Each structure stands twice: as C-alpha cells, then as structure tokens.
C-alpha cells in the first residue's frame, strides 16, 4: 500500500489543473481504504477534514494545492444482485467509469441509463451529484448504495429517501459532505425500456439519423452525437462539463423576465417555479467564447468553462465569479456553481 507525497493531480482532474496533494493513495476495496486511514492517523497525522475522496475528477476544480490526504476510488465490478418482473438490479463499484457502465447496460439490453451516455466521471459520484441529462436523473434508477464512514470506519447502506435527492443535490453534498466514500451503487435497470426523447434535441437527432425504430442504443448514440457536437473532450481541452446549475425563479419573476427578454427560455416546474437555461443567460452577457490567457468560456457552450493549457484553478474560479456577477446584474438571477471547489 503506497502513500505518495506531493503527488501531481494534473492527470487526475479533467480540468487538467496542475495542483498537488500533500498525500495521495489509491484503494480498490473497503479494507484497503480502512488500512490507509489507519496508517494515515499514525504516520501522516492530519485532521479528518483534510481527507478527500476522488473518483474520475470530472466535477472538481483545484484552486490551490491540496494540503491533505487525497484518496482515489478504484473499486471495480458489476454484479447482478437480483431481479423482479420489471427490473434487473446491478451493484457497481464506485470506481467504475460511468460511460463504460452505460455501454455495459446497453450491451445487455437493460434500459434506463441511455439518456445519460457520455457523462464523464465514475459511478460512485453519480448519486452524490444526482447526475442528470435529457430528462433523466440518477434518482430515477437508483436503488441503494454502500458508503464507508471515514471517521467511524463503518459501512452504511442508503436508500433513495436516505439520499435526499434534489436537482444536482444529495445528502452527500450537504449534511454528510466529506464524511463518506461511496463503495458501490446498486441501480435498477428496466427489462422493458421507457423511452425519453422529448427533451433537448434527441428527437431531431434521431430523425436526422433516419432512426425509424426506437431502441436504447439508438437513443444512446443520439445523445453521444449531441454531446460531442456541443461539449469539448476533456482529453483535448480541460473542462468539467457544465460549470453552473440551471437556476429557478419564482412564478412572479419569470413573467417579468419574459416581458423584458421575449426569447428567454423557461421550463415550468411542478412547484410553480420556472427553470432557466444558465447557458442562455451567460451567452446574453457576452461570455460565450471569451478567453483570457488559458482560461475561457467554450465557444459552443457557454455553460462550460475551459482550460486551454496552463490555466490555474484560481483563474478559472475568478472567471466564474465575474460571470456570476454579470448574470446577477443583468437579469437579477443568481447562478450557482455545479463544480466542487477545493
């Protein structure tokens, strides 16, 4: 079991930020995680708040070097743990690449994740963020997860209610932030698909491809093409996908905005609020395609902040702050960062 000192994190975060971790280790089992934490207490004394779990590094921005113990989750495995008339239940290691899991399900004819194709990151992070795209969220196919409590060194199970899912939210981003490592996630995949094609440009993409018979693979392929056409590949241009959440405004606020900005897109929510498109708001403020040094806003998608090579995390952060301020000043709408800041 190797604990590295002053380890480079550049290849471990999709922004490609050249930060370091004071201590770094990888774990493939809960036992290894427990051993590392026990060793850390005696050999590398640091407060528990200085322990950070890393998956695919696709939703994190290092604004400085991490002066603590960073642990990379590399737990693998996909196991069928049961089925009923409607679902097959798959328990997936927290370190399994998300898109590889999606492709696995499609290959097995299991439905539910096809709309979430090509989202970067690992399965362990999927419930933390309640990842979602094109009308589907993790909470729609989540069954339960196993999590390791970093301080008590116990393994707990969380069901859907325990996770308190919200829009890009869960209990692990709030009440239990930084307290657990997700060991595995059990998803329920449909034996018979329920297609979701009305959100975004999926239907148009299917028609463009000449698809006459719907299938989970056809939808997955369409989503992949859409994402590739709009979003930069982190292997080419450093980024963490959508940097900001889509904000919601009150039922009173949206008509005011609509009267002033007739083209503003709005999506009514069940609670009476209206969800806005953060990318549209940012673009109207003139940020789309903006670049300052190696920090910038992607020219095809204003939601995506990018590192063109050697930008520092603090530069990306400061750019995001300027964007937040300009949207607030122009529209009176407060944006929230989706990416985790370290």
Q: Give which of 161, 193, 159, 215 is closest to 87, Cα–Cα.
A: 193
DSSP structural state of residue 330: H
Among the listed residues 168, 184, 227, 320, the single catalytic one is 168
Helix 98-107 to helix 216-230 angle (10° resolution) is 150
Using an 8 Å Cβ cutoff, are 119 and 241 in contact?
A: yes
Using an 8 Å Cβ cutoff, are 124 and 182 in contact?
A: yes
Active site residue 338: yes
Active site residue 322: no
**Residue 60 pairs with which residues in a beta bridge?**
340
| Angstrom distance (rounded) from CA 296 to CA 307 | 7
Measured CA angle at 195 (ends 269, 99), to 5 deg: 95
Q: Give which of 242, 250, 245, 205 is closest to 224, Cα–Cα.
A: 205
Among the listed residues 58, 117, 242, 320, the single catalytic one is 242
Using an 8 Å Cβ cutoff, are 129 and 120 in contact?
A: no
Active site residue 336: no
**Residues annotated as part of the active site:** 168, 242, 338
């Amino acid at each position: 079991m190797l604990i590295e000192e002053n380890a480079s994190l550049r290849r471990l975060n999709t922004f490609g930020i050249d930060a370091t971790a004071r201590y770094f280790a990888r774990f493939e089992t809960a036992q290894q995680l427990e051993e590392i934490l026990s060793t850390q207490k005696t050999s590398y004394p640091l407060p528990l708040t200085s322990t950070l779990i890393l998956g695919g590094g696709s939703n994190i921005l290092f604004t400085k070097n991490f002066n603590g113990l960073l642990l990379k989750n590399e737990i693998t495995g996909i196991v069928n743990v049961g089925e009923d008339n409607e679902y097959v239940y798959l328990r997936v290691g927290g370190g399994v690449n998300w898109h590889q899991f999606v492709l696995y399900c499609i290959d097995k004819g299991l439905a539910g994740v096809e709309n979430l194709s090509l989202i970067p990151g690992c399965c362990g992070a999927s419930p933390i963020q309640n990842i979602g795209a094109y009308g589907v969220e993790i909470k729609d196919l989540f069954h339960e997860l196993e999590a390791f409590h970093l301080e008590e060194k116990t393994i707990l199970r969380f069901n859907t209610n325990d996770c308190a899912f919200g829009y890009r939210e869960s209990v692990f981003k709030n009440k239990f932030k930084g307290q657990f490592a997700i060991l595995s996630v059990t998803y329920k995949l449909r034996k018979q698909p329920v297609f979701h094609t009305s959100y975004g440009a999926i239907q148009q993409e299917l028609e463009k491809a000449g698809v006459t018979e719907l299938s989970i693979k056809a939808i997955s392929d369409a989503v992949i093409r859409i994402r590739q056409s709009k979003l930069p590949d982190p292997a080419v241009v450093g980024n963490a996908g959508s940097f900001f959440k889509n904000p919601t405004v009150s039922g009173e606020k949206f008509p005011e905005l609509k009267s002033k900005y007739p083209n503003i897109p709005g999506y009514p929510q069940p609670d009476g609020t209206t969800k806005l498109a953060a990318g549209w708001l940012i673009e109207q403020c003139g940020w789309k395609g903006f670049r300052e040094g190696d920090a910038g806003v992607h020219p095809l998608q204003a939601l995506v902040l990018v590192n063109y090579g050697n930008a520092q995390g603090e530069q990306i952060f400061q750019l995001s702050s300027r964007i937040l301020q300009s949207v607030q000043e122009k529209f009176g709408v407060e944006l929230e960062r989706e990416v985790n800041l370290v």
